[in-house]
């Protein structure tokens, strides 16, 4: 059983991500097993992880910080148990150990692994973030980011600071679902297929699909402000978390170097547009991102050297205001 992304390599040498395990859903229905209640749930994340970052982005832009608390782990993996060799997400011993990371305030866990073992004594899967934790039942509600963001979008509107912001509106749902599919396959997961490929043919196939998808996004964004039209949607948040890591990490670390993101004028300005949405910039900690990718994947970067650049200014002006919002 795979314990991290580095273990998810098929017999043919291709990267094959396994599905998340905890798939419960929080509901507005007060009679449900997991009802939407202020103060009941806690989100465990890593600032370095794109899947975590999409959930944290929703927490911020939906105005859910007062209703749902969150904690970030450290960026560098460490041993999670002395009895085996597993390396994974750990909490700092104090809130001064690494800026942005904090000790577990609920269970006193030393690692994300401990949370999974608290929730299920027989668990044998990956110890991944994000983790949406139920303080009342002391268990994991979900570790599937795609479903967590849907919960945050709709189920907490009675207590959200921005209840009118709907990133998955009914009239766009079919378009969002269709677009998410090819962006996930080609870009979100595509960069991992490039980076973890163990054979040239698998890399060639993945990198070709990646740049076809990026080219498609560039073309779309030359005609409209956002990927699915003139309004911000779920698809934009899902795409953003990969784009923000592209030139800083994926170009070098995952060998996605055919073309830099900054060479795509529409995509690059679009990325800055999303970054400058109130609340979004606080979800991006580039030090955490670079330390984790370059420092915790020895099969790709054995000595853990972290490149110095490119240090992009994401708060610089963009040109997306030329489209109506």
Closest by CA position to 232, among listed 153, 314, 159, 178: 153
- Catalytic position from the list 47, 127, 184, 192: 192
Cα–Cα distance between 207 and 205 in angstroms, integer?
6
Query: What is the distance between the alpha carbons of residues 36 and 152, in angstroms, rounded to a whole number?
Result: 10
Q: Tell me whether residue 49 is one of the annotated catalytic residues.
A: yes
**184 noted as active-site residue:** no
- Give me the catalytic one of 41, 44, 47, 49: 49
Cα separation, 182 vs 217, in Å, equals 11
- Known catalytic residues are 49, 192
């Amino acid at each position: 059983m795979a314990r991290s992304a580095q273990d998810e390599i098929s017999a043919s040498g291709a990267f094959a991500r396994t599905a998340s395990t905890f798939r419960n859903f929080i509901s507005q229905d007060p009679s449900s097993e997991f009802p939407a209640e202020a103060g009941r749930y806690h989100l465990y994340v890593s600032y370095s992880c794109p899947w975590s970052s999409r959930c944290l982005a929703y927490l911020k832009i939906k105005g859910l910080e007062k209703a749902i608390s969150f904690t970030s782990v450290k960026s560098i993996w460490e041993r999670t148990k002395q009895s085996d060799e597993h390396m994974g997400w750990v909490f700092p011993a104090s809130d001064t150990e690494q800026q942005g990371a904090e000790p577990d305030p609920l269970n006193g866990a030393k690692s994300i692994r401990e949370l999974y073992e608290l929730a299920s004594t027989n668990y044998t899967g990956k110890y991944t973030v994000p983790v949406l934790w139920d303080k009342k039942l002391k268990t994991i509600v979900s570790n599937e980011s795609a479903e967590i963001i849907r919960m945050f979008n709709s189920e907490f509107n009675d207590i959200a600071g921005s209840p009118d912001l709907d990133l998955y509106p009914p009239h766009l749902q079919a378009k969002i679902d269709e677009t998410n599919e090819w962006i996930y396959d080609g870009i979100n997961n595509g960069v991992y297929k490039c980076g973890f490929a163990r054979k040239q043919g698998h890399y060639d196939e993945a990198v070709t699909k990646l740049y076809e998808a990026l080219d498609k996004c560039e073309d779309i964004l030359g005609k409209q402000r956002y990927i699915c039209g003139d309004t911000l949607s779920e698809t934009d948040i899902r795409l953003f978390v990969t784009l923000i890591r592209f030139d800083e990490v994926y170009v070098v670390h995952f060998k996605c170097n055919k073309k830099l993101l900054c060479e795509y004028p529409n995509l690059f300005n679009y990325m800055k547009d999303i970054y400058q949405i109130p609340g979004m910039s606080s979800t991006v900690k580039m030090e955490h991102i670079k330390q984790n990718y370059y420092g915790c994947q020895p099969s790709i970067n054995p000595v853990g050297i972290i490149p110095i650049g490119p240090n992009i200014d994401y708060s610089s002006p963009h040109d997306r205001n030329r489209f109506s919002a």
